Amino acid sequence: MHKLAICKIGQRISFGKIDKNGNKLPVIDTSGGNGEAKAVIDIARKSGKFDITILTMTTKSDYFPPEYKIVDIVKLMQENKLESFIKEQDFDILLLINGTISCYGGLEKFALLDLATYRTAKVFDKKTVFISCDICIPFVADMWKRIHLKPWVGKYNREEHLLFGKNFYMLTQARNLDVLYDILESRRGYINVFKRENIENFSFEKFPCDSEVNYIPVNPSPEYDLLYGGTLRTGRRIRNIVKWYYNHPSLNIELFGRMDQSKIDEFAKKECGDNFYKPKFADPVNYLEHGKKMNQALATIVIGDTMYEQTDTVQQRAYESMCANVVTFIDERLDRPHNVYGCNSGLEKFLYLQSPDQLEKRIAMLKDSPELRAKILEWQQRITSFDKQAWYNEFAEKLLK
């Protein structure tokens, strides 16, 4: 067994809480970041190749799964024991799962985990693999630019947390790695950490297929024609939300998630004039309830940001929607090589879209033909039923090569 250490930038890795009697409480993931981290950990465990230690920050009420060792690296850092711990454990590989550096309100307590995580990556002298499930979250080699103006920063040594000059590997769900590298090369700091030959693809977008909770029976009478759940991605996704989900008065469409409707409407007005038609809006749902919500729809269309389009990156929402038995259209710009549906000529012809007009026509076809809908959902389920053990093994092989 290879000794694998795993830590996450930007937030704790949490498996839930326990009550005062020691009983495990239901898991409530309010964001995708923790869910993605647990999915990465689970793939590594199921490969059977690793003895896993999770390096994070813990609380007294945390639930600790018996299959993992969980270590509080913030406490070790505060006791000046972190470096000696890393050396004594002699891990073979460190996984560094990407995220957004957190320092809410400028308070020191909210920066402690990232300080400990960066210190861990700095002192670790074997293979470090950076896990990039969301290519739009930039890797920050110098976290000091996020905290250098804080009044408490003088307690810490910048050099002890600076990752320039490290030689990291990267696993990413982006498919076009040459374009991805060109983008990374243009960003200050990346070129000093990643070499092109050390960047590989892994299909993290298939995470939802590995959880039984995401497989939901066919809804015989879906309430909505189209559903979309997500965020505006700091405004980057507004263009595609308006393109694909606005101006369909004949369709029952709802968008749910953390979205500023006024910003979307403002963009729609600029693009379409005053007479645009907007969908309904609803509040976000729990991360684990997303599939159940999507099951209320006949269809969805997977959209992305410009960087996703440039790098042929399909999000996890595509596979999550397929698992939930929703007809899952894809904006073809996200998957020009047809990696998702290219194995099935029927799906390939019907589910890749180039224009909103195609979307309306194909939803009409689905409504007119229950048999067509049933066949597409059957084909989609076959795609989600890939060889999971081979997938786990592929992940392990890429870590160990």
Angle 360-365-366 from CA coordinates, rounded to 5°: 100
pLDDT, position 286: 82
Residue 113: both structure tokens together: 């985990």
Please tell me whether residue 339 adopts helix, strand or coil conformation. Answer: coil
Report pTM.
0.92
Q: Domain ranges in the chain?
A: 2-202, 215-384
Longest dimension (CA), the chain: 67
Burial class (CB in 10 A: 0-12, 13-18, 19+), 8: buried
Name the CA radius of gyration of the chain, rounded: 22
Closest CA to 219 of 321, 353, 303: 321
- d(Cα 231, Cα 24) in Å, to the nearest integer? 30
Can you say whether residue 353 is alpha, beta or left, with left for phi > 0 and alpha for psi between -120 and 50 degrees?
Answer: beta
CA distance 346 to 150: 57
> How much is the pLDDT for 106?
83
3-state DSSP assignment of residue 373: helix
CA dist 201 and 241 (Å) reads 27
DSSP three-state, residue 56: strand
Q: For position 29, what pLDDT does the model report?
A: 60
Alpha carbon distance, N-terminus to C-terminus of the chain:
15
Output the pLDDT for position 190. 59
Q: Give the closest residue to 58 by CA, choosing from 26, 13, 124.
A: 13
At residue 332, what are phi and psi to the nearest 5 degrees? Answer: -60, -25
CATH topology of domain 215-384: Rossmann fold (3.40.50)
Q: Do domains 2-202 and 215-384 have the same CATH topology?
A: yes
Q: Tens digit of pLDDT per residue, the chain (401 long)?
A: 999 999 999 999 999 888 888 788 776 665 568 889 999 999 999 999 999 999 999 999 999 999 999 999 999 999 999 999 999 999 999 999 999 888 887 889 999 999 999 999 999 999 999 999 988 887 888 898 889 889 999 999 999 998 887 889 999 999 999 999 988 888 765 557 888 899 999 999 999 999 998 999 999 999 999 999 988 777 789 999 999 999 999 999 999 998 898 999 999 999 888 889 999 999 988 877 889 999 999 999 999 988 999 999 998 999 999 999 999 999 999 999 999 998 888 889 999 999 999 999 999 999 999 999 999 999 999 999 999 999 999 999 999 99
Distance, in Å, from the CA atom of 141 to the CA atom of 364, rounded to the nearest integer, reads 49
Return the structure tokens found at 339: 């990696």
How many CB atoms lie under 10 A from the CB of residue 58? 17
Residue 183 makes CB contacts below 8 A (sequence gap 6+) with 307, 310, 311
Give the model's pLDDT for residue 140: 84
CATH class of 2-202: alpha beta
Q: Name the strand (E) or helix (H) holding 199.
A: strand 194-201
Q: Residues 184, 186, 192, 198: what is their CA dihedral angle, to the nearest 10 degrees?
A: 30
Tokens representing residue 381 in the block: 């389920």
State the CB neighbour count (10 A cutoff) for residue 65: 14
Instruction: Return the pLDDT at 28.
Output: 63
141 and 180 in contact (C-beta within 8 Å)? no
Q: Would you call 78 helix, strand, or coil by DSSP?
A: helix
Residue 273 backbone class (left: φ over 0; alpha: ψ -120 to 50; beta: rest): left
